[in-house]
Amino acid sequence: MGQYIENLDKIKIQLQVPGGESTPDATLFLGHERILFIECKVESPIDGNQLISHARSGQGKIPVVCISSGNIKPAEIEAATRELLKEGYYQTLIRWIGWKQIYTDLLDFPEIREKYEVAGLIRSLENENLSGAKLQAFKQDELSNISKFVKLYPNMFDNARRFVRSVVEYVQEKDPNLEIEFKTHSYVPLTDVITARLRHKNMEEYNSIICFNFGEARIRLGWDLRVKQLKYLSDTQMEKLLGRMEKGVFKLESYEGTQLQEIPNDPEIMKKLEEDRWALFSRYYYFDDERLYRAPYEIVKQLGEDLILLFNFFMELGLYTPRIVVS
């Protein structure tokens, strides 16, 4: 880029400009000439094929800068470079830099740190946890408190695992045709969740789930499926589904980025959701339920019955993929 240094004031930037077979996140122009492509990744992984497409769009003459998290150049950069070399493009066409490096470099230039755009970028990198971890002083007594907790955790984990197992056994006694997948992991390092999935023998896809979640302090019963499955429902089936939601038996949720948000009880809104998104039907039981402490089998029984009701309801709606038996 050295050839453009004297003309920095003439360089313009535009976002999402289609060109050739790709659309970079940003394109730098000098007049009408494209001189640099930028591809930014915050949470999504680097796509080597995407970078290769950018290079092809520039006919091998326009550098591509990829920005992502991390301190080490991702393997996808090297793989894309090797592929471009096979196609006859030169080796340095794709460059990489990490958000943390950008953050550090910006802090090294106090004369520009207070500029509106730069200050905003610095705040954004900090808010998105892309600036790199900062060493902080430990809070008073937190190390000793966590030490006590770690010693208690194995017993608590084992009891939570027995709790979920008890619900599974209750359901199995009611319906022997249910197949159970019970996932539990070693408690070192500490495990966030204990999960069991249940499906009928004639099911290929989709199942009910019970999840004991330590981090969120609640137990979840649910049924997770793709939104496209909902669009196959008849009007009558949709009414049944919405009726359960209106009664507060369970709610429909979906992820917006990394946040799980409730979807309004409106069929028109459901129709507009992207088909490949996951729809999560959930009912929650929270750790402040006194039965967990005074009569655990009472809540085991309720969870078991609710799980069967949930399972049968979605079986009735046909919201699953049948298993194909090859004779």
**pLDDT per residue as tens digits for the range 177-225:** 888 888 776 666 678 889 988 888 777 766 788 999 998 899 999 888 7
The edge-to-edge listing of strands for the beta sheet with 64-68 is: 11-15, 26-30, 33-40, 64-68, 94-98
**221 CB-near residues (< 8 Å, 6+ apart):** 208, 209, 210, 250, 282, 283, 284, 285, 303, 306, 307, 310
pLDDT value, residue 218: 93
Tens digits of residue pLDDT in 144-181: 888 888 888 888 999 999 999 999 999 989 888 888 88
CA distance 287 to 156: 13
pLDDT value, residue 185: 66
How does residue 134 score in pLDDT terms, banded at 50, 70 and 90?
Answer: low
Tell me which amino acid residue 94 is.
Answer: I
How does residue 2 score in pLDDT terms, banded at 50, 70 and 90?
Answer: low
* Residue 327 falls inside a structural domain: no
Q: 193 pairs with which residues across the strands? A: 213
Tens digits of residue pLDDT in 237-277: 777 877 777 766 778 888 776 677 888 777 777 777 787 78
Segments forming the whole domain that contains residue 83:
2-127
Please answer whether residues 213 and 192 qualify as being in contact, where contact means their C-beta atoms are separated by less than 8 angstroms. Answer: yes
* Residue 94 falls inside a structural domain: yes
Tens digits of residue pLDDT in 39-65: 998 878 888 888 888 888 888 888 899
SS (H, E, C) 198-222: EEECCEEECCEEEEEECCCCEEEEE
Same domain, 206 and 93: no
231 pLDDT higher than 80 = no
Same domain, 108 and 188: no
Pairing of strands 203-205, 26-30: unpaired
Same domain, 161 and 101: no
How does residue 9 score in pLDDT terms, banded at 50, 70 and 90?
Answer: confident
Same domain, 120 and 154: no
**96 CB-near residues (< 8 Å, 6+ apart):** 65, 66, 67, 68, 73, 74, 77
Percent of the chain surpassing pLDDT 90: 15
* Residue 87 falls inside a structural domain: yes
* Residue 137 falls inside a structural domain: no
32 pLDDT higher than 90 = no
pLDDT value, residue 261: 82
Average model confidence (pLDDT) across the chain: 82
Tens digits of residue pLDDT in 56-93: 888 888 889 999 887 788 888 888 888 888 888 876 78
* Residue 314 falls inside a structural domain: yes
* Residue 132 falls inside a structural domain: no
- Nearest to residue 216, comparing CAs of 251, 183, 192? 192
Neighbours of 205 (CB within 10 A): 13
pLDDT value, residue 139: 80
Please answer whether residues 158 and 141 qualify as being in contact, where contact means their C-beta atoms are separated by less than 8 angstroms. Answer: no
Same domain, 163 and 217: yes
pLDDT, greater one: 21 or 119: 119
CA distance 301 to 134: 47
Q: Which of 100, 127, 154 is the last residue of a domain?
A: 127
Same domain, 94 and 146: no
Same domain, 116 and 230: no
Same domain, 242 and 306: yes
Our count of domains for the chain comes to 2
Please answer whether residues 232 and 245 qualify as being in contact, where contact means their C-beta atoms are separated by less than 8 angstroms. Answer: no
Mean pLDDT for 281-291 is: 91
Q: Which of 101, 127, 153 is the last residue of a domain?
A: 127
> 159-189 burial, b if ≥16 CB within 10 A, otherwise e?
ebbebbbbbbebbeeeeeebeeeeebeebee
Helix (H) or strand (E) holding 158: helix 142-174
pLDDT value, residue 170: 92
pLDDT value, residue 50: 87
pLDDT value, residue 42: 83
Same domain, 87 and 203: no
pLDDT value, residue 11: 82
CATH of the domain at 76: 3.40.1350
How does residue 289 score in pLDDT terms, banded at 50, 70 and 90?
Answer: very high
Same domain, 65 and 99: yes
pLDDT, greater one: 285 or 3: 285
pLDDT, greater one: 296 or 242: 296
CA distance 74 to 97: 10
**78 CB-near residues (< 8 Å, 6+ apart):** none
111 pLDDT higher than 80 = no
pLDDT value, residue 326: 61
Same domain, 239 and 289: yes
Tell me which amino acid residue 29 is.
Answer: F
Q: How many CA atoms lie within 13 A of 42 on its CB side?
A: 9
* Residue 19 falls inside a structural domain: yes
Q: Which of 104, 127, 150 is the last residue of a domain?
A: 127
pLDDT value, residue 188: 63
Same domain, 310 and 171: yes
Tell me which amino acid residue 176 is.
Answer: P
* Residue 287 falls inside a structural domain: yes
Omega cis (within 30) before 154: no
